[in-house]
Each structure stands twice: as structure tokens, then as C-alpha cells.
């Protein structure tokens, strides 16, 4: 099943697969799970291997994922503004 990037802001991506949504972090040309402190990554170009870093419980519905994504992006923006 294909993985699609829905939104791309800063270091975070909102992705979808089969009607489920999740947030992943992009760093150093790798993708990482943003949940439960998991730090195993996959190469950025290997979206089909997303199951290697995301468990079933990491996926959610669109509304919940979008709200969490918006919060992560806003928090990142606030941190960056305070660093200036």
C-alpha cells in the first residue's frame, strides 16, 4: 500500500496510508517515528518501508493527525522565534 505525504512543514511530515494518518520527523535524510521515543530511522526515499518505524498504534484518523501536526508545527515555529 502506498504512503503519501499530505503536509510537509519544517522537519515534520504528515503522511497517510490506507486511510490512516501519522506524523514522522525528517532529519539527516532519514524518517523517524515521533512517538514513544523510538529513534530507529529509515532512508527518506524509502517511504514504502514506513512499517519499519511505525506500529499500528502510531496511526490515527485524519482529524486527530492534522490537529497534532498543526500543534507540532506551531511549537516548532514558537521555538524558532524565541531563538532569534
pTM for the model: 0.85
The predicted structure's pLDDT at residue 17 = 95
Instruction: Tell me the C-alpha distance between 75 and 53, whole Å.
Output: 23
* Nearest alpha carbon to residue 25 among 9, 36, 48: 9
pLDDT at 77 over 60: no
pLDDT at 79 over 80: no
Q: Where are the domains of the chain?
A: 4-83
11-27 mean pLDDT? 93
CB under 8 Å to 42, separation ≥6 — which residues? 30, 31, 49, 50, 52, 53
pLDDT digits (tens, 9 = 90+) for 59-75: 999 999 999 999 988 88
The predicted structure's pLDDT at residue 75 = 83
| Residue 33 CA to its chain's centroid (Å) | 7
Amino acid at each position: 500500500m502506498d504512503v503519501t505525504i499530505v503536509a510537509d512543514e519544517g522537519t515534520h511530515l504528515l503522511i497517510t496510508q490506507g486511510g490512516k494518518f501519522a506524523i514522522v520527523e525528517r532529519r539527516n535524510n532519514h524518517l523517524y517515528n515521533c512517538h514513544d521515543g523510538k529513534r530507529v530511522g529509515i532512508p527518506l526515499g524509502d517511504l514504502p518501508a514506513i512499517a519499519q518505524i511505525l506500529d499500528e498504534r502510531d496511526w490515527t484518523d485524519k482529524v486527530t493527525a492534522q490537529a497534532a501536526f498543526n500543534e507540532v508545527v506551531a511549537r516548532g515555529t514558537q521555538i524558532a522565534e524565541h531563538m532569534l
